[in-house]
Chain A
Amino acid sequence: MIDDSQYIQDEPLKIGNLTLNSRLIVGTGKYKDFEETEKALELSGTEMVTVALRRVDFDADDHLLNHIDPKKYTILPNTAGCYNAEDAVRVCRLGREISNLNLVKLEVLGDPDTLLPNPVETLKALKILVNDGFTVMTYTSDDPVIAKQLEEEGSTAVMPAGAPIGSGQGILNPNNIRIILERAQTPIIVDAGVGTASDVSRAFELGCDAVLLNTGIAGAKDPLRMAVAMKHAAIAGRQAYLAGRIQRKLYANASSPPLDF
């Protein structure tokens, strides 16, 4: 039997001075309990997990950090729930106190109904954070102009949404993602909208550097099985991209020689 591992060698994903062997970044929300969270993260193969920052619940007897080994996972604090630059910067600075890293995921939303990013406030926060020495991974829409501008303002990775948050619709505008990819110097990470394994594969086939997902795993009927599916989907999509797909053609092209007898 041939050992296939030599045929799927890949370079690690570099984000700032971090290197990650898994190209999935996984959220930690919406799981049934911490045990399920812990198992799903492990099964997904991820090496980076994103977390939100909230007030301590003094009545709780257990909490997330008891279940995430910082030696195993890079912890990526996010600014979920922030609607302006000021709040987002505050959350990043507080998160840094716990994670002991300058790494953050910036997301500044426009309003709670659409959950679309607010590009003006996002850019404002990004400038402050970059100035403050943060390595910023920035959530944005799939607008190629804004994506480029985030990069120019010092975002270490740009994270366009595939589809509206929590919609599970996959990558709705692959053309925009392709334009973003063609012009990017930084890693491009699809964040939001992933519904199932093929959405993850699709992102990698387009050439994305990584995918961030949470609900796609946590919201599945069997989250642990889906975590494994997502891991394989990431490998499959990434390897297909590296292997180089065939051109789409209008007509058939026989794979056997013509009959010659």
Chain B
Amino acid sequence: MNITLNGKSREFSDSITVAAMLAELQLHPQQVAVEVNREIVKRDQFEIHQVNDGDEIEILRFVGGGGKEDNNDR
């Protein structure tokens, strides 16, 4: 199935959970926030929430920044 992950098209095996997707991406579930189709998926739902074909997923984490002058391409 094809999903849009952080703005880019990406293939994943069918019937995968958010937790399985994070594992495949080698991301620590404690260190990221996940949005599926603009809805936050809470950490305790990672194991349960199924990713569907065509989903738009954002996986976010903390980066260095004091605020203000920071922008996306830094």
Contacts and interface: CB of A to CB of B under 8 A. Distances in A.
Nearest to A99: B62
B31 A98 contact: yes
Contact of A165 (B58, B68, B74): B68
Nearest to B34: A97
Interface in A40-67: 50-56, 58, 63-65
Contact of B64 (A52, A79, A107, A192): A52
How big is the B interface, by class?
20 to 34
A94 B59 contact: no
A215 interface: yes
Interface in A17-38: 26-31, 37
A51 B63 contact: yes
A233 B71 CA distance: 29
Nearest to B25: A58
B31 A214 contact: no
A105 B61 CA distance: 16
B59 A214 contact: no
A191 interface: yes
Nearest to B8: A58
A52 B42 contact: no
A212 B60 contact: no
A108 to B, nearest CB: 11
9 contacts: A27-B64, A51-B62, A51-B64, A52-B64, A80-B66, A98-B61, A99-B62, A192-B67, A212-B66
